[in-house]
Structure 1
Amino acid sequence: MATLLETDAVLKRGLAYLVKADPVMARLAREGIVPQLRKRPPGFEGLAWIVIGQQVSTASAAAIWGRLRTILEPPTPQMFLRLSDESLRAAGLSAGKVRTLRAAAAEIAEGRLQLDAFPGLPADEAHALLTRVKGIGPWTADIYLLFCLGHPDAFPSGDLAVQEAARLAYGLEQRPDAKALTALAERWRPWRGVAAKVLWAYYRTVKAREGAPG
C-alpha cells in the first residue's frame, strides 16, 4: 500500500502520479486546482464525527458534535455505550444515527471491528469490514478511510460533489453514478483518494466561480 496521506509531501507525490496518468488531472493541476490534506482523528471518535455529519450542514454537525463531546468524555466506544438514548437525542443525534453509532461502538468494544489494524489493509478490504456494521454505508466507510485513516486509495464514488466534479472535468453528458465513477477511477489507482481530493477542490472552485458577480 502507498504511504498514508499524512503530509503534504505524500499528497504531492500522489498528485504527481495522477498528472502523469491522466490528462484531465494534468489540466486541472495546470489550472491551479490544489487538493487539501485535511485529516480527522482515527478510531471511534473520527467515525462518530463522520456519522454525525451525514445529511446535515457543516455548522449543524459542529453544533451536534460540540454538545455530544460535553457528555462523551473520553470519546471512546465504551463511554458511548454507557450513554442513554435520551441524552444522545438531546445532543441532537437522530434515532438512526444513535443506532448506527451504538452498533459501531459495540463492534469496536467487543473486538470484532479492529480499526487499529486498518492502516495495513487494502482500501477495498477495510471498506468491506466497515460496511458490515449495521448502518454504515459505502460513503461513510470511504470518508472514514480517506479523512481519518488517510488511505491514499479510498474513493467515495457515491459522493455527489465528486460525481458532479467528474461530470464537469471530463465533459460528461450526465453526472456519473457510483458504478460509473468507480470504473472511471480505476485509472487513478493506487491514488484514488488524492483524485477525490482534486475533484472536491475543483467542485469548490467551480461553485465559487458561479457565485462570483458578473
Structure 2
Amino acid sequence: MPQQFTKSTYNGICDKLSQMDADFAKVIQLYGYPSMWTRPNTFETLVHIILEQQVSLASALSALNKLRERVQEITPARILLLTDAEMRECYCSRQKTAYIRYLAEALISGQIDLEGFEQMEDAEIRAQLTALKGIGNWTVDVYLMFVLQHTDVLPIGDLAIVNAIKRLKSLPKETLKEDLVILAEQWKPYRTVASMLLWHYYLSDRKPKM
C-alpha cells in the first residue's frame, strides 16, 4: 500500500518539507499551512476531475452543478440516461460527454472498481484509469492526491505547479519540465504535500497586496 497522509499527519509533513527545503519554510512563514484538499472516492468526483481538464475550476464546478440539478445524484446509470442535448445543456462538451460515458460504462461493467483502488499501488491505478479514453496522467494525479491521499505524487502536467516551482526557485521561464522533475526528487517521499504547498504559494502570491 502506498503511504498516505491524513489530517493528523499533514502539517507535520509540511514541517518536514520546510526542513528539507528552505523555500517551503518561507511559504509557510508568509502564508501559513496550505489547506488539505480532499474529495470522496466516487464516480461524481472523477466526473468533476474530467470536467476540470483544461478549463477554470469555476466553469468545471458550474457544469457539475448543472449535472446535479439534472439527475439529483450523479451515478453512472443516471448519467448514461442523458442525451447528447441534455449533456450540452449541462455545459459538457462533446468530448467530455464521451469521456464521462466511457467512465460510467467502465464502472457498470466492473472494468474498474473505485473501492478496489484503495488497496492498489499507484502504477496499477494509473494503468487502469489511463486505459479509459479521456483520462490522462493529470486526471490520475489529482485522483491519487485528493481522493486517495497518496503522499508522493507530482502532477507535472499542471501548469500552476510548473509556474510555482519556477517562481519559487527563481528559474528561467524556459526551464524544461524534465529539469523540474529532477529538482522535485529532493521532496520525496512527500511530493504530493510539496505540490499542495506549491499551489498554496501560487494562489497566495497572486493575491493583490493590501
Structure 2 length normalisation: TM-score?
A: 0.89
Asked if the contact 2:184–2:191 (Cα under 8 Å) also holds between the matched residues in 1, the reply is yes
For residues 138 and 33 of structure 1, the distance between their equivalents in structure 2, rounded to whole angstroms, comes to: 29
For residues 174 and 49 of structure 1, the distance between their equivalents in structure 2, rounded to whole angstroms, comes to: 30
Matched, 1:174 2:139: no
Cross-structure match for 1:42: 41
Asked if the contact 1:139–1:156 (Cα under 8 Å) also holds between the matched residues in 2, the reply is yes
Cross-structure match for 2:133: 134
For residues 69 and 32 of structure 1, the distance between their equivalents in structure 2, rounded to whole angstroms, comes to: 34
Q: Secondary structure at the match of 2:118?
A: helix
Cross-structure match for 2:89: 90
Q: Secondary structure at the match of 1:97?
A: helix
Please state how far the C-alpha of 1:176 moved relative to its aligned partner: 4.4
Gaps of 5+ in 2: none
For residues 93 and 78 of structure 1, the distance between their equivalents in structure 2, rounded to whole angstroms, comes to: 17
Cross-structure match for 1:27: 26
For residues 122 and 187 of structure 1, the distance between their equivalents in structure 2, rounded to whole angstroms, comes to: 22
1:212 is matched by which residue type in structure 2?
Answer: K
Cross-structure match for 1:63: 62
1:3 is matched by which residue type in structure 2?
Answer: Q
Cross-structure match for 2:156: 157
Matched, 1:14 2:13: yes
Asked if the contact 2:63–2:92 (Cα under 8 Å) also holds between the matched residues in 1, the reply is yes
| Residues 206 and 36 (structure 1), Cα distance of their counterparts in 2 relative to 1, 3 Å cut | same
For residues 175 and 76 of structure 2, the distance between their equivalents in structure 1, rounded to whole angstroms, comes to: 36
Cross-structure match for 2:3: 2
Cross-structure match for 1:123: 122
Q: Which moved more, 1:120-129 or 1:194-203?
A: 120-129
Please state how far the C-alpha of 1:174 moved relative to its aligned partner: 2.2
Please state how far the C-alpha of 1:177 moved relative to its aligned partner: 4.4
Among all aligned residue pairs of Structure 1 and Structure 2, give the percentage whose two residues are the same amino acid: 33
Asked if the contact 2:4–2:148 (Cα under 8 Å) also holds between the matched residues in 1, the reply is no
| Residues 22 and 147 (structure 1), Cα distance of their counterparts in 2 relative to 1, 3 Å cut | same
For residues 11 and 85 of structure 1, the distance between their equivalents in structure 2, rounded to whole angstroms, comes to: 42
Please state how far the C-alpha of 1:164 moved relative to its aligned partner: 0.7
Cross-structure match for 1:79: 78
1:78 is matched by which residue type in structure 2?
Answer: A
Q: Which moved more, 1:95-104 or 1:114-123?
A: 114-123
Q: Which moved more, 1:44-53 or 1:177-186?
A: 177-186
| Residues 124 and 24 (structure 1), Cα distance of their counterparts in 2 relative to 1, 3 Å cut | farther
Asked if the contact 2:67–2:74 (Cα under 8 Å) also holds between the matched residues in 1, the reply is no
Structure 1 length normalisation: TM-score?
A: 0.87
Please state how far the C-alpha of 1:33 moved relative to its aligned partner: 4.3
Gaps of 5+ in 1: none
Please state how far the C-alpha of 1:167 moved relative to its aligned partner: 0.4
2:202 is matched by which residue type in structure 1?
Answer: Y
Cross-structure match for 1:148: 147
Please state how far the C-alpha of 1:183 moved relative to its aligned partner: 2.4
Asked if the contact 1:3–1:10 (Cα under 8 Å) also holds between the matched residues in 2, the reply is no
1:182 is matched by which residue type in structure 2?
Answer: V
For residues 128 and 26 of structure 1, the distance between their equivalents in structure 2, rounded to whole angstroms, comes to: 35
Please state how far the C-alpha of 1:31 moved relative to its aligned partner: 3.2
CA RMSD of aligned residues (A): 2.0
For residues 78-103 of structure 1, give each alpha carbon's deviation from its aligned partner in whole angstroms, at most 9, with x where no partner exists: 22222222211121100010011111
